Chain A
Amino acid sequence: MLKSESLIALGLMGLSAYFMYYAVALPIGWVEGSGPGGGAFPFWLSFIMFLASAGILIKSLRTAAPSEPFFDPDMIGQVASVMAALVVAVALMPLLGTYIALPAFLIWYLKFYGRHGWVLTGSIVVGTLLVLFFFFEVTLRILMPKGITEPLFFPLYRIFF
């Protein structure tokens, strides 16, 4: 079994290789009279990163695994579920609209994950919606993605814009 430390070092090595693969599209060598080409900076920096993470990998393979696990077994489920909920919420933003995706996330997070009452959950959801609309859309003129709920906002646009 590989330790998490080694896996992360491997991942970073993979990432730097991926960067190098993209960097070679531009000249990475020395252009006579004008210094490095356009791909040189990303390529050689990724190269150093590759070597350094390889060093971390070698070091981690040599040392014994730490006694305590990398993730706290009681909490990792919670961290993962919050991350998953965030991914779902962001994926829904352009489809169902920000004004459905973010309240849904808040209700899940506060009511079901945080086990708060409906009053607290409801007031934070309503407060967030009001701030979103009046601060971002009306004041800053930043239109949040609305997806299929866009037509519902036409009357509001008419009032505030």
Chain B
Amino acid sequence: METLSLLADGFAVSLLPINILIVVIGVTVGLFIGAMPGLGSVNGVAIVLPLTFIVPPTSAIILLAAIYYGAMYGGAISSILLGIPGASTAVATTFDGRPMAQQGKAALALIAAAVGSFVGGTISVILFTLFAAPLAEVALAFGPAEEFALVLLAFTTFVGLGGDDILKTVVMICLGLALATVGLDMISGQPRLVFMDLPGFYAGISFLVLAIGVYGIGEVLWTIEQSKTAPTVTPAKVTWAEFSAGLRILRRCWKTMTSGSLIGFFVGMLPAAGATPAALMAYGIARSSSKSPETFGKGNVEGVLAPETANNAASTGSMLPMLTLGIPGSPTTALLLGGMVMWGLTPGPMLFIEQPDFIWGLISSLYTANFAAVIVNIALIPVFVWALRMPFTVLCAVVLVLCIVGGFAPNGKMHDVWLILGFGAAGYLLRKAEYPLAPLVLALVLGPLMEKSFRQTLIAEQGDVFAFFQRPLSGTFMVIALLLFLFPVFKRLRDARRKPSLAE
């Protein structure tokens, strides 16, 4: 009941005309960014974040969350019309979305994607509302030891569950954490890692600089290399008949949508998982539980619904640990977290006590963002069809200029712009060599918290390392983290033992 009244207070904030306007602008921008092949929510948020200083923090985060949502909806558009995922989160949408478009059912696929996204988004926001306050309450008891254990747990999920090369994941986490230590040592106040004595490094390396470099410049370089062959746009016309036919089909598919939402929400909460694996899992489950699994991959509407509900639910799910624990569940929420720190807010349970207007305004804006996104999405389908014909070079040019200016704007230093170019080139090369970039960005955002909580605990406990294991909560986190870290080792041992027996 208390949650409901808090949510009602939140709506008083999010239904202000200015915030409704911001939500509509945000989802529209997000839809376009998501619809562009190659650019997804994380790119959109990285590029737009430096421009949000113009509005107060509550509106800024509502804008960014709306872009996040819009991009999740938009990813499906190019998956269906071009056959190229608009963002990695929409990969699974191409499996059935593309065949549907080729059979002339592009409009139906687009409507299914939009409505599926809406259902996934809404179910997950309701779950979010229910879980947020209790989780924050638990998190209030966290001291530095628990914070450290939780951050460690977040990183070990990448090692244990990430699916990328483990050594490469470890390199990226350590690189991000090492970059986070550049600047002044927070305990002694002494400068460290001031490379080549450049004064710009005294202020540290902002997560924004890394994010714009990797997700802005790096992404454009990557896309230029991929854009050898120009894709063809499938035309789509939405009529009322199509629209009502779409809604009728959707009524049959509530089971697929519910399971997609639940998978998305819970998988999305894990830092290493997120929307892409959630969408793939939801697709797999929808296919295996279907009565006619052979129609999947050939244009089954459920093959569009399952991943689209899941990836939207995952984007909401990934915000839950970010807001309640201060640990982001995805690279995009890592950027939101970095933004909140920049605006002077400390993400975590204290926000629920100190800034209830902010928190509940944001949560309620997720409901309005879902409404706005589904309406804007369906209304603008003709515009997206037109926009996807836009030559790719125009988009790249605008993004590159925005990266340069957006990198300069927050601190007014050319030093940052040079770093962005460096990170862009490095990010492009690392991505080509299949190094995962998400743990790098997460590590840079969480690095200061990790070091601070580690050293604070040790100072308080006179250097006793076992302090982390003695408190019940942090001890549990530490044990799970260690198990996750050792999980790949166990797996390899087991595989190694099996192989000789196969050879015999």
Q: A38-B192, A109-B400 are in contact. Are A145 and B394 (CB under 8 A)?
A: no
A124 in complex: contacting residue of B192, B398, B408, CB < 8 Å: B398
In the complex, whether A126 has a CB less than 8 A from a CB of chain B is no
A90 in complex: contacting residue of B394, B396, B412, B421, CB < 8 Å: B421
Size range of the chain A interface in the assembly: 35 or more
Count residues on chain B whose CB falls below 8 Å from chain A CBs.
61
Q: In the complex, which residues of chain B have a beta carbon less than 8 angstroms from the beta carbon of A94?
A: 414
CB pair A45–B174 under 8 Å, yes or no, is: yes
25 contacting pairs across A/B (C-beta < 8 A): A12-B171, A19-B178, A22-B192, A23-B192, A26-B192, A35-B457, A42-B178, A42-B181, A42-B192, A55-B167, A56-B168, A71-B225, A71-B432, A75-B228, A76-B225, A79-B224, A83-B425, A87-B421, A89-B404, A106-B397, A109-B397, A136-B405, A142-B409, A144-B408, A145-B408
CB pair A34–B409 under 8 Å, yes or no, is: no
Q: A93-B414, A140-B53 are in contact. Are A30 and B178 (CB under 8 A)?
A: no
B412 in complex: contacting residue of A8, A48, A74, A143, CB < 8 Å: A143
The B-contacting residues of A in range 12-55, CB under 8 angstroms, are 12, 15-16, 18-19, 22-23, 25-26, 30-39, 41-42, 45-46, 48-49, 52-53, 55
Secondary structure of the B contact surface, majority rule? helix
In the complex, whether B193 has a CB less than 8 A from a CB of chain A is yes
In the complex, whether A63 has a CB less than 8 A from a CB of chain B is no
CB pair A140–B409 under 8 Å, yes or no, is: yes
In the complex, whether B483 has a CB less than 8 A from a CB of chain A is no
Given contacts A34-B463, A79-B225, A89-B404, 6 further A-B contacts (CB under 8 A): A8-B435, A34-B462, A38-B192, A45-B174, A52-B174, A110-B397
Residue among A41, A87, A114, A136 facing the most chain B CB atoms (10 A cut-off): A41
CB pair A114–B455 under 8 Å, yes or no, is: no
In the complex, whether A70 has a CB less than 8 A from a CB of chain B is yes
In the complex, whether B214 has a CB less than 8 A from a CB of chain A is no
CB pair A75–B409 under 8 Å, yes or no, is: no
Nearest-CB distance from B419 to chain A (Å)? 11
CB pair A8–B430 under 8 Å, yes or no, is: yes
Nearest-CB distance from A31 to chain B (Å)? 8
- Could you tell me which A residues sit within 8 Å of B by CB distance? 4-5, 8, 12, 15-16, 18-19, 22-23, 25-26, 30-39, 41-42, 45-46, 48-49, 52-53, 55-56, 59, 70-72, 74-76, 78-79, 82-83, 86-87, 89-90, 93-94, 98, 102, 105-106, 109-110, 113-114, 116, 120, 124, 128, 132, 135-136, 139-140, 142-145
CA distance A14 to B394 in the complex (A): 37
Secondary structure of the A contact surface, majority rule? helix
CB pair A90–B391 under 8 Å, yes or no, is: no
Nearest-CB distance from A5 to chain B (Å)? 6
CA distance A2 to B372 in the complex (A): 53
CA distance A42 to B178 in the complex (A): 5
Nearest-CB distance from A86 to chain B (Å)? 6
CB pair A106–B401 under 8 Å, yes or no, is: yes
Nearest-CB distance from B448 to chain A (Å)? 10
Q: A23-B193, A38-B185, A140-B53 are in contact. Are A86 and B394 (CB under 8 A)?
A: no
Q: In the complex, which residues of chain B have a beta carbon less than 8 angstroms from the beta carbon of A36?
A: 454-455, 458
In the complex, whether B54 has a CB less than 8 A from a CB of chain A is yes
